[in-house]
Structure 1
């Protein structure tokens, strides 16, 4: 199968592929998603196959209006509508109870809820409008690998497996949307993103953060809760805020292999780096770092001589909370310690 790159002005062609039951990757402000008609069970099953994704991992349904949500949701609580008014289109996914039989168990993972998102990306809103259906849209990558933030990342993982990719350049945010469960008595964030707990509480009052560990035989209510995510081949180590980067550089110098070094420009510029330190700039702040994190991990994944990646931590509040959530998953919780890392 040839995988076509759809450019501006070719949305109708991409929508025609969706209507035929084919898979088309699409851009959002967060990461690229792997699109299929959410009402076509066979097409949705092919999403799992293309990604190598576990079938109990539910999919987010992308819409281009609240009216589209109303066709499938059993109810939209008042607080959910307030959040839609405040943050849609945008990086907030809302889990709601759905009408019986409205969407297949292939979409919901067998749950009685589904996650809805209205992305802030006009080409994708046009694609949904032209196709006339909501689209499932997990990240358009091989399952478990760093999420794609460019069309080239998608092509790397999925060319020959999907019909096409709508190319809209690099994504702006770089980490997936906040997932908020509104199907329970008290709302809870299941996955942090650019829309923060503080942002949400300004609109609807107190909410919770999820601390539940999903069991082996339990179906997660949102992506990223159960399975390994965002991991390149090389081991990632988190460099904590209070770590002396001179010690990190000295450790790199002693290694018999190349080490990826992901840090802010001010860190990279102040260090005299050894030949085996392969640098990747995370920019000037946490906003830049969030947008660049997955790109850096993917670049090192294509360099077989890189056997370890040291990556700068940021304070885990606001957007930094989403950044650190992804970095922790990528690293498997491993932190840099020059005495312990081998």
Structure 2
């Protein structure tokens, strides 16, 4: 797989040209690595769905280099979207707005709305700007992993997922570590469809104190909102700390050479019984988000059939981490 240095100007130009030619590339954002194709070419976008094994009606997010570039995909630009993008772009926030006819049909999964984001990662910004100069209106990019599996936060994670012919821009580990918050601005009330690291309180403050609605049956389909998602091969079980401690006490230390039946990811439970692999979950919500997908991949590599994970705290700062873990657990 051609992994290219995202700081190399020649590599950026070559990858941008591949996008302009309708090919797939992978690139870093501050949230996770994305698998991208030009969003104004439905045939190119179809290659994303095929490569990931993703249902064609499960929409993608279109990434743009500048806020002004998002307008090409929008039939209307609601005031709520304007307030949110002024507050958080570039950054880990996606807004859903009415879609312009004929623009991004495949990326939107056939819906009359579309999700738009301006990422903050310098490599993503540089790539999107180079692609825009070649006539690419925006880049549709879900996470660069097989559909439903653990999202990638390093170039090596992408390399483990796809055909060696895929070009990957390496921008180092992702700073945020989980996908963007998604806010539906296409209806008469702003609705949080997927939490991220931006808290509900910060989003509501940017909306002038308007309370965010909750997802309902009329909400647009949006990336990463299926009940089961973000899952390792091992089955994930979320457990409150007392239940996790009790289960580990019953399990006890393993006999020498015995294969561990479970791996553990916990903030407060420890030390673990001898022979049980585990990682410590950071006590800070932002640090936990940044480490989450790498931790899941490392624990999955232990080869255990189960991963026991301590349920994150109930505070809103943890909503994004809790959401990803609940969906990972639902896949089991």
TM-score, with structure 2 as normaliser: 0.90
Relative to structure 2, which stretch is displaced further, 201-210 or 149-158? 201-210
SS of 2:172 mapped into structure 1: coil
CA distance in 2, matches of 1:333, 1:124: 30
Pair 1:165 & 2:168 matched: yes
- What CA deviation, in whole Å up to 9, does each residue of 1:41-80 have, x standing for no partner? 1110000011010111001000111211112211212221
Residue 91 of structure 1 is matched in structure 2 by 92
Cα gap change, 1:109 to 1:272, in 2 (>3 Å): closer
Tell me, yes or no, if the aligned pair for 2:231 and 2:331 is still in contact at 8 Å. no
- What CA deviation, in whole Å up to 9, does each residue of 1:123-174 have, x standing for no partner? 11110110112100100000011111111111111133x5211111111111
Residue 338 of structure 1 is matched in structure 2 by none
Cα gap change, 1:272 to 1:142, in 2 (>3 Å): closer
Relative to structure 2, which stretch is displaced further, 291-300 or 133-142? 291-300
Cα gap change, 1:245 to 1:127, in 2 (>3 Å): same
SS of 1:298 mapped into structure 2: helix
CA distance in 2, matches of 1:72, 1:330: 32
Residue 128 of structure 1 is matched in structure 2 by 128
Gaps of 5+ in 1: 335-342
CA distance in 2, matches of 1:309, 1:125: 36
Q: How does 1:127-276 map to 2 (within 5 A)?
A: 127-132=127-132, 133=136, 134-160=138-164, 163-204=166-207, 205-212=209-216, 221-226=221-226, 228-241=228-241, 243=242, 245-253=244-252, 257-258=259-260, 259-264=262-267, 267-268=269-270, 271-275=271-275
Tell me, yes or no, if the aligned pair for 2:28 and 2:123 is still in contact at 8 Å. yes
- What CA deviation, in whole Å up to 9, does each residue of 1:274-317 have, x standing for no partner? 21x1112323422222111211211233333x111111222233
CA distance in 2, matches of 1:231, 1:190: 19
CA distance in 1, matches of 2:325, 2:69: 34
CA distance in 2, matches of 1:315, 1:284: 10
Tell me, yes or no, if the aligned pair for 2:3 and 2:169 is still in contact at 8 Å. yes
CA distance in 2, matches of 1:227, 1:23: 27
Offset of 1:195 from its aligned partner? 1.3
Residue 77 of structure 1 is matched in structure 2 by 78
Residue 115 of structure 1 is matched in structure 2 by 115
Tell me, yes or no, if the aligned pair for 1:6 and 1:166 is still in contact at 8 Å. yes
RMSD: 2.1
CA distance in 1, matches of 2:144, 2:227: 16
Cα gap change, 1:100 to 1:272, in 2 (>3 Å): closer
CA distance in 2, matches of 1:301, 1:55: 28
Offset of 1:333 from its aligned partner? 8.4
Offset of 1:209 from its aligned partner? 4.2
CA distance in 2, matches of 1:98, 1:263: 42
CA distance in 2, matches of 1:251, 1:23: 49
